[in-house]
Structure 1
Amino acid sequence: MAAYILRRLLLIIPTLLGVLILNFVVVQFVPGGPAEQLLSQLTDRESRVSGGPTGRTLDPKQVAEIKALYGFDKPAPERFWQMLTQFARFDLGKSFFQSKDVWALIKEKLPVSISLGLWTFFISYLIAVPLGVAKAVRAGSRFDFITTLFVLVGYAIPGFVLGVALLVIFGGQLQWFPLRGLTSTNWEALSWGAKATDYLWHITLPVTAMVLGSFAVTAMLTKNAFLEEIRKQYVLTARAKGLSDRQVLWKHMFRNALIPIITGFPAAFIGAFFTGSLLIETLFSLDGLGLLSYESVIRRDYPVVMGTLYLFTLIGLLTKLVSDLCYVWVDPRVKFD
């Protein structure tokens, strides 16, 4: 086990390096970088001030200073190596446009994404696992058919479309819920009970839009896992000994059937802290990690793009290792030889 963990940890290094190299190379060929944007703005401003034609060129010295300001005066390999040395110290750099460290931006946007991710995660599992068990026990019944239809319809509707419908119906026409934001403008002046109520009032619609599509896979996976266990010999033997269906389900089948669910639990739980849904955050005016990533790509804010990519990729690789180790914790028969 120790050798397996060591090999997996060592494999993280080339995997992470490959992801960074690929994205860094792509960045070099994407037009409209920060230096080009600033040069364009200065050129247009100078043309308006002087009254001359647009598209005038700046002094080469000014162009060199602007490129040096963003670090583009150095060769690409040197910039890449400098970025790697920073990342090795967990220094993610500083945003080009917001005058803040990338760490500060992540910490600033993280609470919104945590709110969406954790509520979506817990509600999805609390609905999906019991529903999957009930569907397996009643496989082929009318309940199974109706719930499958509901689950598939919810999975097929994009979260953004569902969010728009929720906003129009419950936020616009009925005015039961607010249209934007995570809290009200007077949230600081409210009591603790009123703050909790106000927060839940604001979070209901975006979480609903995210949950309806996310629990479908878990529910169907739970159902199929239990159906597979029902057909195994040890279940037939337990029933032949006179055990009730409830005893067979909870004492014999439950642990084995939940192996696929439990092993994916760490990745889903950690992902909830860093989940940013761009469309939902934009629709409900929630300033989270999804919106930060989108704006960084659009504005070519490369330190934010590469810094968040490095951090989230590293967390994803470590979480994948933890998920694989959970197989051994849940089922000791699993060996990583």
Structure 2
Amino acid sequence: MPAYIAKRLLLMLPTLLGVLLLTFIVLQFVPGGPVEQYLAEAKAAGGAAEGGALTYRGGQGVDEARLAQIKKLYGFDKPAHERFFIMLRQFARFDLGTSFFQNKDVWQLIREKLPVSASLGLWTFFISYLVSVPLGVAKAVRAGSRFDLATTVLLLAGYAIPGFVLGVALLVVFGGQLQWFPLRGLTSAHFDELSLWGKVADYLWHVTLPVTAMVLGSFATTAMLTRNSFLEEIRKQYVLTARAKGLGERQVLYGHVLRNALIPIVTGFPAAFIGAFFTGALLIETLFSLDGLGLLSYESVIRRDYPVVLGTLYLFTLISLVTRLVSDLCYVWVDPRVKFD
């Protein structure tokens, strides 16, 4: 086990380096970088940007000295390979840099946006598991019945409907026509004036539609995985032996089969739980005017805010690699028969 963990940790380094290197190279060829956007904003503002600090002289553009200052401001006065190694040294110290356009530390931006994405992710995670696992077990016990067929059709239909399409329908029906739920935000404008229970009710009132739009499509995978795993275990020899010993059907199914059938579900639990905090749903956040990590990533790419793009990529990739390792280790914890060698 220690040798396996050490090997996986060592393999994380080239993986992380490769992800950062490929993204950095792609960004070098994307037009409309920070300097170009700075100049475009200055031109659109009629020759004044940042309180007149930049003088745009019509067709002549910006003088070379000022252009050199702007490039130095964004770190583009150095060659690309030198900027890459400077970035790696910063990331090694867990310094994610400062946003070009928001003048905030990337860590601060992540902390500001994290509550929104965590709210959506955690609700989606818990609801999907609490519904999908019992539903998958019920489908396995009634395999081939009308209940199994009907729920499969419903699950596949929900999986096929994109979350943002369902979100639009929910907004139009329940937010627009019926006006049962708010159209935007996670809280009301008068949230701070409410009592504790009032705040809880207000938050749940706002989060219902976006969570519903996100959670519907997540039922199918977990439910069908639970069902198929349960059916596979039922066909094994130890189940026949348990029945031959006179154990009741309920004791066989829920005392023996369920414990083994849930191994694939349990081992994926840590990665899914950690991922719920950092999974930004861009379209849902945009649709419901929620300022989360998904919207932050999208706006950073559009504005070529490279510190935010690369900083969040580094952090989320590192978290993903670690959680995958934890998920693999959970196999040994749940099922001692698994050997990594």
Report TM bin, short chain: over 0.9
Q: Which residue of 2 aligns with 1:10?
A: 10
1:57 shift after superposition: 2.1
| Amino acid of the structure 1 residue aligned with 2:146 | R
Matched, 1:215 2:245: no
CA–CA separation in structure 1 for the residues paired with 2:296 and 2:268 = 27
Q: Which residue of 2 aligns with 1:34?
A: 34
Q: Deviations over 1:51-79 (max 9, x none)?
A: x9954321111111111110000000110
1:42 shift after superposition: 2.6
Matched, 1:164 2:143: no
Q: Which residue of 2 aligns with 1:139?
A: 143
CA–CA separation in structure 2 for the residues paired with 1:210 and 1:249 = 32
Q: Which residue of 2 aligns with 1:238?
A: 242
Task: State how many pairs are aligned.
Answer: 335
Residue pair 1:43, 1:58 contacting (<8 A) in 2 also: no
Q: Which residue of 1 aligns with 2:187?
A: 183
Q: Deviations over 1:244-290 (max 9, x none)?
A: 11100111111110111011101100001101100000000000000
TM-score normalized by structure 2? Answer: 0.96
Q: Which residue of 2 aligns with 1:252?
A: 256
CA–CA separation in structure 2 for the residues paired with 1:83 and 1:47 = 33
Matched, 1:287 2:291: yes
Residue pair 1:39, 1:63 contacting (<8 A) in 2 also: no
CA separation of 1:27 and 1:251: change in aligned 2, threshold 3 A: same
CA–CA separation in structure 2 for the residues paired with 1:47 and 1:109 = 34
Structure 1 vs Structure 2 CA RMSD: 1.4
Unaligned runs of 5+ in 1: none
Matched, 1:275 2:300: no
CA–CA separation in structure 1 for the residues paired with 2:57 and 2:254 = 79
CA separation of 1:238 and 1:292: change in aligned 2, threshold 3 A: same
Matched, 1:76 2:68: no
SS in 2 for 1:116: helix
| Amino acid of the structure 2 residue aligned with 1:4 | Y
1:230 shift after superposition: 0.7
1:174 shift after superposition: 0.6
CA–CA separation in structure 1 for the residues paired with 2:40 and 2:275 = 39
CA–CA separation in structure 2 for the residues paired with 1:239 and 1:55 = 87
Percent identity for Structure 1 against Structure 2: 77
1:243 shift after superposition: 1.1
SS in 1 for 2:228: helix
| Amino acid of the structure 2 residue aligned with 1:94 | T
1:40 shift after superposition: 2.3
CA separation of 1:47 and 1:109: change in aligned 2, threshold 3 A: closer
SS in 1 for 2:189: coil
Unaligned runs of 5+ in 2: none
SS in 1 for 2:94: coil
SS in 1 for 2:258: helix
CA–CA separation in structure 2 for the residues paired with 1:298 and 1:55 = 26
Residue pair 1:296, 1:304 contacting (<8 A) in 2 also: yes
| Amino acid of the structure 2 residue aligned with 1:24 | F
Deviates most, 239-248 or 204-213? 239-248
Matched, 1:154 2:158: yes
CA–CA separation in structure 2 for the residues paired with 1:134 and 1:271 = 27
SS in 2 for 1:335: coil
Q: Which residue of 2 aligns with 1:128?
A: 132
CA–CA separation in structure 1 for the residues paired with 2:174 and 2:327 = 39
CA–CA separation in structure 2 for the residues paired with 1:46 and 1:256 = 69
Q: Deviations over 1:182-220 (max 9, x none)?
A: 000000000000000000000000000001001210000
1:45 shift after superposition: 4.3
CA–CA separation in structure 2 for the residues paired with 1:54 and 1:222 = 66
1:41 shift after superposition: 2.5
CA–CA separation in structure 2 for the residues paired with 1:179 and 1:335 = 51
Alignment of 1:63-142 (within 5 A): 63-142=67-146
Q: Deviations over 1:290-309 (max 9, x none)?
A: 00000000000000000000
CA separation of 1:278 and 1:55: change in aligned 2, threshold 3 A: farther
| Amino acid of the structure 1 residue aligned with 2:23 | N
Residue pair 1:43, 1:56 contacting (<8 A) in 2 also: no
Residue pair 1:154, 1:212 contacting (<8 A) in 2 also: yes
